[in-house]
Structures are given as C-alpha cells and as structure tokens.
Structure 1
Amino acid sequence: MNSCILMAKIVRRPELRYTQDNQTPYAQMLVEFSANRAEATPTNLRAVAWGNLASEVAQNYNEGDQVILEGRLSMQTIDRPEGFKEKRAELVISHLYHLDGSVSSGEMAAPTPEKVVPINTHKSNKTPVEKPVAPVSTGDFEYDASYELSNPSAWQPSDTPVEENLDDIPF
C-alpha cells in the first residue's frame, strides 16, 4: 500500500490549472519538509491535488502555511533538454490539513477546540478506600480485603456460555 503522511511548509503558492482533455482541475505546489537531523538541509517535494480538492487548495492555502499532507507518492519521468530522462517524486494529495486543525478534503470534519475534553476531567466511578486493609492469609495465598466488590449482591454470573476461540491470531 502506498500511503504517506507528511508535515510540511508550502514554499510556492498552489497554482490551479485544468487538463486539456476534459478540463479536470488540478493544483500543484511546492512543499518543504525538514530532515530528521538538524544539520541536514530541508527537502522540497511537488504536491498535486485533483478535482474539488484542487479548487479548495488553490483558494484556502498560501505560501508559508504549515500543513499536513496525506496521500500517495508517485514517480514522474521527465525528458531533460540535455538528452536524458529524470525521475521526480511527487505527492498526490488525498487530504490536506492546516496545522490549526481545519481540513480541506470535504470528507472529514476537524475537531474543534470546544469539543476537546481536557485531561484529568474524567470522573472516576471508583470509590476511594478510606483506610488501607491489611492482607489476610488464608492458607497458601494472601487475600486482600480491599478488592471486595462494592455491592456483592448486585453481581450475577452470566447465563450465556463462553465461546471457545480457536483462532491463532489474538486480534
């Protein structure tokens, strides 16, 4: 499967063009992404969007925008004037995200900050143990009374039989 997700900066504004045969819109732009090492120079890559996404990209994105590109890598062969062929990689965009969280794909909705739940706001259903209970020894094993059910009369065993899973793969 050919799938790529890339965080990059747009270094050349998207240009909206149309194919000659059926006037399908496409937008091409140049993006730059940094390497894993600090001393390495950033790499440029041509990115192309097609159809309605191309129109959205041309309208909503500018040079200098930080974006996340999702798509597939493609190799293009170019005949050079010097007499040889050159292969160049390009990213065919399927989804494009501003780093501020908005989406330009028409299919997905981005989470908004008011829908995000802060960490540590989850209310636990567990009642805290007020004082620790010492383990009680009952023969060969230790029994910890703090693991008692909070309402033992509410627990009922299931009447449905357990199905035996014969699958070798655990998921």
Structure 2
Amino acid sequence: MNSCILMAQIITNPELRSTQDQTSVSTMMVEFESTKEGEDPGKVQVEGWGKLAEEIQNTCSAGDQIIIEGRLSMNLFEMPEGYKEKRAKLVASRIYPVTANTSNANYTVKPDQTQQPDNLVNFAPTPKPQAAPAYVSPEPATTPEPAPANGGNEDWDEIPF
C-alpha cells in the first residue's frame, strides 16, 4: 500500500491548470524538515486533482503549514545533459491546514471541530486524544498446598522407604 502523510510548509503558490478533458490539476512545492541535523529541508511537489485541485487553489498559499495525505509517485526525467533523474511527487488525496497566512483565510485546525468550515480543504475532524487505558497486571493465582493426610502430624520415622 502506498500511503504517505507529510507535514510541510507551502513554498510556492498553487498553480491551477486543466487537462484536455477539463479535469483540474493543481501543483505546488512544499518544504519539510530534515531528520538529520544540519541537513537542508526536503522539498517535494504536491499535486491535487479535480475538486481538490480547485480547493487547493482557493485556500492555500505560500507560507501555510499543512498536513498532506496522499500517495508517493516517482517519475523519471531525461535531462538535456544526457542523464536521467528521478523526482518524487506527492499526489494528494486530502489536505489539512494547520495554519494560514493572514493574507488568506485565517484558520486553525482544532481537535473539537465537528463541522467542515467553508475555508478548509477536505477537513476531517481530528479525534480527541484519549489516554491509553492503564495496564493492570493480573495477580498470580496462588494454589493452596494440599493438606497432609494425617492432619499435619507427620512422623518422619514412620514413612516407609
């Protein structure tokens, strides 16, 4: 299964175009923190299709922090210099805004929101975090020792060997 969730910052405003069959496609570049200290942030192109593409165009802009859910696609490009280059692309299925520029709609995802505001892109309510149930270790069962046959008055001299 190819599934990816990425928290990133938009670094280029979304560009909306249409295919020959009038399907909307929106593309933008995002940047995310590196996992290695001192390494430059990673960048990846994000692509949205159909209604999602139009919503991305209308609600997202450079500087917004978003969470992108989608699938990762690898494309091979022949460069003019004669070599081939692989590039990753994230094809979005949902986008969750975290923060927004003040020049655009001012919104923040809150865990207790249950209705989809008009200015959110495919907003899905975030479930409230719940504490994990406390683990209770079962106490070991104790087995009672059998009562001696003679009522506890054993005479070791009387035991036959």
TM-score band, normalised by the shorter chain?
0.5 to 0.7
Tell me which of 105, 111, 121 is aligned to 1:104. Answer: 121
Q: Deviations over 1:26-59 (max 9, x none)?
A: 0000000011233221011011000000000000
Q: 1:116, CA displacement in angstroms?
A: 6.0
What residue number does 2:30 align with?
A: 31
State the TM-score, normalizing by the size of structure 2.
Answer: 0.64
Name stretches of at least 5 consecutive residues in structure 2 with no aligned partner.
99-107, 110-116, 132-142, 146-161
What residue number does 1:18 align with?
A: 18
Give the length in aligned residue pairs: 116
Matching of residue 9 in structure 1 with residue 26 in structure 2: no
SS of 2:53 mapped into structure 1: helix
Distance 1:75 1:23 in 2: 25
SS of 1:12 mapped into structure 2: coil
Query: Structure 1's 52 and 38: CA in aligned 2 closer, same or farther, altered over 3 A?
Result: same
Query: Structure 1's 118 and 88: CA in aligned 2 closer, same or farther, altered over 3 A?
Result: closer
AA of the residue aligned to 1:77: L
Distance 1:84 1:71 in 2: 29
Superposed, 1:76-95 pairs within 5 Å as 76-95=75-94
Which of structure 1's runs of 4+ aligned residues deviate more than 2 A?
108-111, 115-119
What residue number does 1:65 align with?
A: 64
AA of the residue aligned to 2:24: P
Query: Structure 1's 116 and 43: CA in aligned 2 closer, same or farther, altered over 3 A?
Result: closer
SS of 2:14 mapped into structure 1: strand
Name stretches of at least 5 consecutive residues in structure 1 with no aligned partner.
120-138, 142-171
| Larger deviation, residues 65-74 vs 38-47 | 38-47
SS of 2:56 mapped into structure 1: helix
SS of 2:52 mapped into structure 1: helix
Q: Deviations over 1:87-115 (max 9, x none)?
A: 1110000000011217412xx5425xxx9
Higher-Rg member (1/2): 2
What residue number does 1:148 align with?
A: none
Query: Structure 1's 27 and 117: CA in aligned 2 closer, same or farther, altered over 3 A?
Result: closer
| Larger deviation, residues 35-44 vs 67-76 | 35-44
